Amino acid sequence: VARLREVADVREWSSDLPPDRESLTALIGDAEAVLAIGGDALVAAVLAACPNLRIVALASAGYDSVDVDAAHTLGIAVTNTPGVLHETTADLAFGLILAARRRIAEGDRYVRSGSWERVPYRLLFGHDVHGAQLGIIGYGQIGHAVARRAHGFGMRVVHYSRTHQDDELSTWMPLDELLATSDIVSVHVPLSDQTRGLIGERELRLMKPTATLVNTARGPVIDETALVRALREERIGSAGLDVQSVEPNPDASDPLLEAPNCVVLPHIGSATESARAAMVDLAAANIEACLAGRPLLSPIPGS
Ligand code: DGY
């Protein structure tokens, strides 16, 4: 913000709660640029009500919070932040893989609750990560970064993506085959009309009963109701979720939280000092470029 104040008048949303539509429209008002994060729903009605808006600079890789078609029709550029958060998010995806398969969060709760009175031989048995098959759905920057880490764990890596291409890290596989043969399935697709509900009842039924499903992408890519059922009925082994279909979600009675062996985090995939600093820096640089009439640094794909 300090950086942007040198080139523009800046108005800030000062709450940790995302603005509702009216507040967002009022805040943007006659501004030429907006720096937004994922919770800011830049729907067509908001964009259309802001006559001077030239750029939506997102401090996120995902751009599902913006009505991109409306923005482009209105001549508003949209930028995101690829290249600065994929390693950080891949670290967290691996954290979730380890936590879910080795029951780390469950073990921590067990010790804290004072339940560790005996030494049962089968205490918190999990499933190995090393030597397992990792299936990556969506093979962009984050998917690649997860694949690189998997090789350090001696895993076999396969992926499903629109481009049917193998590379030195991973072999392409049809989605159903990936789901049926992988021990761990990690989701890295952007949210779009094509990926909403990509993993539903049918797909979960294809997975191994010991399999782990990890999602650091967007909640709505997985049908949460079907996932809760699959976990309860032990049709899959565990899940690690950084994202949910509704965020934030203060509902402590959400069935997802009661599902056995499900680790849930509050969308912190890119939450490190350095990643977040790089994200807002890139967003600010896009705004500076737009206001100065220079080419944008990272327009969203296809724009
Ligand atoms: C992203 O960059 O899209 C992450 O989900 C952080 O919001």
Q: Is 269 in the pocket of ligand 1 (CB under 6 A)?
A: yes
Report which ligand 1 atom has the smallest distance to the Cα of 38.
7
Catalytic: 203? no
Residue to mutate (ligand 1; options 40, 192, 215, 270; most atoms within 8 A of CB) = 270
Residue to mutate (ligand 1; options 42, 63, 85; most atoms within 8 A of CB) = 85
% the chain with pLDDT above 90: 98
Mean pLDDT, to the nearest integer, of 5-22? Answer: 95
> How far is ligand 1, taken at its centre, from the CA of residue 30, in Å?
27
Confidence (pLDDT) at 295:
98
Confidence (pLDDT) at 303:
79
Mean pLDDT, to the nearest integer, of 294-302? Answer: 96
pLDDT per position as a tens digit, 96-115: 999 999 999 999 999 999 99
On whether the CB atoms of residues 187 and 135 are closer than 8 A, the answer is no
With bands split at pLDDT 50, 70 and 90, how would you rate the model's confidence at 260?
Answer: confident
> How far is ligand 1, taken at its centre, from the CA of residue 15, in Å?
19
Catalytic: 247? yes
Q: Starting at the edge strand that comes first in sequence, how are the strands of the sheet with 33-36 ordered?
A: 33-36, 55-58, 77-79
Query: In the structure encoding, which two tokens stand for residue 270, read together?
Result: 């890119």
With bands split at pLDDT 50, 70 and 90, how would you rate the model's confidence at 59?
Answer: very high
Confidence (pLDDT) at 227:
98
Q: Is 85 in the pocket of ligand 1 (CB under 6 A)?
A: yes
> How far is ligand 1, taken at its centre, from the CA of residue 273, in Å?
14
Q: Is 38 in the pocket of ligand 1 (CB under 6 A)?
A: yes
Report which ligand 1 atom has the smallest distance to the Cα of 270.
6
pLDDT per position as a tens digit, 199-242: 999 999 999 999 999 999 999 999 999 999 999 999 999 999 99
- Rounded to whole angstroms, the Cα distance separating 51 from 45 reads 11
Catalytic residue among 86, 103, 159, 218: 218
Confidence (pLDDT) at 302:
82
Which residue puts its alpha carbon closest to atom 7 of ligand 1?
60
Does residue 161 surpass a pLDDT of 90? yes
% the chain with pLDDT above 70: 100
On whether the CB atoms of residues 282 and 81 are closer than 8 A, the answer is yes
> How far is ligand 1, taken at its centre, from the CA of residue 60, in Å?
4
32: left (phi over 0), alpha (psi -120 to 50) or beta: alpha
Does residue 94 surpass a pLDDT of 90? yes
Report which ligand 1 atom has the smallest distance to the Cα of 58.
2
Catalytic residue among 267, 273, 288, 294: 267
Query: In the structure encoding, which two tokens stand for residue 290, read together?
Result: 């737009």
| 135 or 1: which leads in pLDDT | 135
Mean of per-residue pLDDT scores for the chain: 97
Does residue 70 surpass a pLDDT of 90? yes
Radius of gyration of the chain (CA): 21
Whether residue 301 is preceded by a cis peptide bond, meaning omega within 30 degrees of 0, is no
Confidence (pLDDT) at 236:
98
Which residue puts its alpha carbon closest to atom 4 of ligand 1?
60
Which residue puts its alpha carbon closest to atom 6 of ligand 1?
60
> How far is ligand 1, taken at its centre, from the CA of residue 62, in Å?
5
Q: Is 270 in the pocket of ligand 1 (CB under 6 A)?
A: yes
Task: Identify the CA nearest to 149 among candidates 132, 165, 174.
Answer: 132
Mean pLDDT, to the nearest integer, of 69-86? Answer: 98
